[in-house]
Structure 1
Amino acid sequence: MDNAKAPSNAIVLEFKEDTALTEMMRLRVSSLQRSGQKRQDGERLLLPHEAVYRLDFSTQELNFSRWYFSLIAYGRVTITGISQHWTPDLTNLMTRQLLEPIGTIWRNADDPEDSPLKWLEADMQEFGERIAELAKVRKVMYFLFAFKDGAEAANLSCSVEFTPDN
């Protein structure tokens, strides 16, 4: 989870915001609010401080190596994997499709600006291994990023490193 140089055979994938999917999920929330309807039983609606991100896998036989994060300023970012193949026009996001563990990185407001980010190392290791496992059957995987305590998407850089499974 540092800025060390990746090995030559490493594959570093950057999380990219899926703005179209985020917008579609926001439209679902506003549609329910306008019509006065309730969400489906078990449905997970996108919260205002959340966005949908994705990883695209060009290679699917991968082993997790490490995380790379950069968060300017302070705040907390949680990353939750989503197990479904996404068809937002046909299916809504259901709570049961959210994966454990979640990844959390943060820097407290009273920490010096040059202080390293904090994270739960065992959870982040397991989360990375889970992503590599799902990559074996996926070409794309989706994630919910939640920005809290002052964190903003514009201040975050997040990628994950894998090595090919030879």
Structure 2
Amino acid sequence: MEEAGAASDFIVLEFKEDVALTEKMRRRVSSLQCSAQKRQDGERLLLPHEAVYRLDFRQQDLSFRRWNVSMGGRGRFTVTGISQHWTPDLTHLMTRQLLEPVGTFWRGADDPDGAGLKWLEADMQEFGERIAELAKVRKVMYFLFAFKDGAEAAELQCSLAFSSHE
């Protein structure tokens, strides 16, 4: 992960919360709870501390360069890629559609003020490269963001920098 630079040859794509899809997934959980039904076998329900985010790819032929992440305060958040396309009838999220590796960023409660975020560099590099590969065949990709240990969506900025082959 590097600081955002002034390099104009990079394409920076920002993760944006898909509020409508997050809300649909929350309604699915509520519906199951109200009717005392169980989830489908293998279905992955949205947890209260999770939200669906998306990346919209304007170009397809990209090479991953870096993650740009900043978070105020302390806590941990994870980014999990999702291999499925959603359709208007809201196909249910299945656990087999979650990609590895998962990206994890954190700042501990005992870290000094102003301390940078921590992450597993090899996992984040591999994850970014997988996203670039999927971008070759996708216009949109979805992600689960989970906020834990005090991390909040309002204090997070997360984007990816790519270089273009076009």
Shorter-chain TM-score bucket reads over 0.9
Equivalences for residues 27-38 of structure 1 within 5 A: 27-38=27-38
Rounded to whole Å, the distance in 1 between the matches of 2:73 and 2:46 is 25
Percentage of pairs with the same residue: 76
Which residue number in structure 2 is paired with residue 40 of structure 1? 40
Query: By how many angstroms is 1:20 displaced?
Result: 0.2
List per-residue Cα deviations over 1:3-35 (Å, max 9, x = no partner). 241422110000000000000000000000000
Moved more, 109-118 or 131-140: 109-118
CA distance, structure 2, for counterparts of residue 30 and residue 81 of structure 1: 24
CA–CA separation in structure 1 for the residues paired with 2:155 and 2:2: 16
The AA in structure 2 aligned to 1:154 is A
Matched, 1:139 2:139: yes
| Secondary structure, counterpart of 2:85 in structure 1 | coil
Q: Which residue of 2 aligns with 1:128?
A: 128
CA spacing shift, 1:100–1:78, aligned 2, 3 Å: same
| Partners of 2:97 and 2:106 in 1: CA distance | 25
CA distance in 2: counterparts of 1:39 and 1:165, whole angstroms: 43
The aligned counterpart of 2:70 is 70
Equivalent position amino acid for 2:106 in 1 = W
DSSP 3-state at the match of 1:2: coil
Q: Where in structure 1 are there 5+ consecutive unaligned residues?
A: none
1:64-114 CA-to-partner distances (Å, cap 9, x unmatched) read 000000010000000000000112624100000000001000000111120
Distance 1:76 1:113 in 2: 15
Report how many residues are paired.
Answer: 166
Contact 1:21 1:88 in 2 (8 A): no
1:94 matched to which residue of 2?
94
Q: Distance in 1 between matches of 2:29 and 2:84?
A: 19
Match of 1:85 in 2: 85
Name the TM-score, length of structure 2 as normaliser: 0.97
Unaligned 5+ runs, structure 2? none
Match for 1:103: what amino acid? G
The secondary structure found in structure 2 opposite 1:52 is strand
Q: Is the 8 A contact 1:70 1:156 kept in 2?
A: yes
CA distance in 2, matches of 1:6, 1:96: 39
Question: Alpha carbon RMSD of aligned pairs, Å?
Answer: 1.0
Shift of 1:165: 2.1
